[in-house]
């Protein structure tokens, strides 16, 4: 969804993904380039290689909640860039960051957990303008009776985006 929204507001998006299905979806949603971490030696270098003059991304949004992705995001942004840690890691998780890079490159780090009324209005606007379609992100359906199985499946980071739970089935 970040790819689609960033594209809708005029960004050139470099999506960083793991699975083949995510490559296809990122391209479909408007990614300018896609880096598949299983196909490159160094994801950070792959992103920098795709940015103007290898300077790095203006903004990096980490959305998977994995410590290595948090560390990569900081290395992927340009001097003066911003990192948004959207994906929350498990409680107690630690990451290592180069304080010299943060300080002297003036990198801004943000964590996003909740939203404001303005971001909700903008999101509804993108949906109303049909720039974002929520149904695009439902990759499966299951009856309420299979909820526990679906939740266990999600714990394995199976590649599904969202599974609609259908009550009464």
Question: Among candidates 106, 108, 113, 109, which has minimal Cα distance to 86?
Answer: 113
pLDDT value at residue 133: 79
pLDDT of residue 18 exceeding 70, the answer is yes
pLDDT tens digit sequence for 106-147: 999 998 877 788 888 888 888 888 888 777 778 788 899 989
**In the chain, % of residues over pLDDT 70:** 96
| pLDDT attached to residue 8 | 87
As annotated, the residues of the chain forming the CATH 3.40.50.720 domain(s) are 2-132
- 43-63 pLDDT, tens per residue? 999 999 999 999 999 999 999
Tell me what pLDDT residue 43 has. Answer: 97
Residues 6+ apart with CB under 8 A from 139: 160, 161, 162, 163
* pLDDT surpasses 80 at 169: no
67 — pLDDT class (breaks 50, 70, 90):
very high
CATH architecture for residues 2-132: 3-Layer(aba) Sandwich (3.40)
């Amino acid at each position: 969804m970040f790819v689609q929204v960033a594209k809708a507001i005029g960004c050139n998006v470099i999506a960083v993904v793991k699975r083949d299905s995510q490559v296809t979806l990122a391209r479909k949603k408007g990614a300018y380039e896609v880096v598949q971490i299983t196909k490159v030696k160094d994801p950070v270098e792959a992103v920098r290689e795709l940015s103007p003059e290898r300077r790095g991304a203006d903004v990096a949004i980490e959305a998977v909640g994995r410590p290595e992705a948090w560390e990569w995001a900081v290395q992927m942004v340009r001097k003066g860039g911003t990192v948004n840690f959207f994906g929350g890691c498990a409680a107690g998780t630690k990451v290592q960051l180069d304080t010299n890079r943060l300080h002297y490159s003036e990198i801004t780090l943000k964590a996003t957990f909740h939203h404001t009324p303005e971001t909700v209005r903008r999101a509804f606007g993108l949906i109303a303008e049909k720039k974002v379609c929520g149904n695009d992100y439902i990759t499966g359906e299951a009856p309420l009776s299979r909820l526990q199985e679906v939740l266990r499946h999600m714990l394995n980071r199976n590649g599904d985006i969202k599974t609609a739970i259908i009550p009464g089935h």
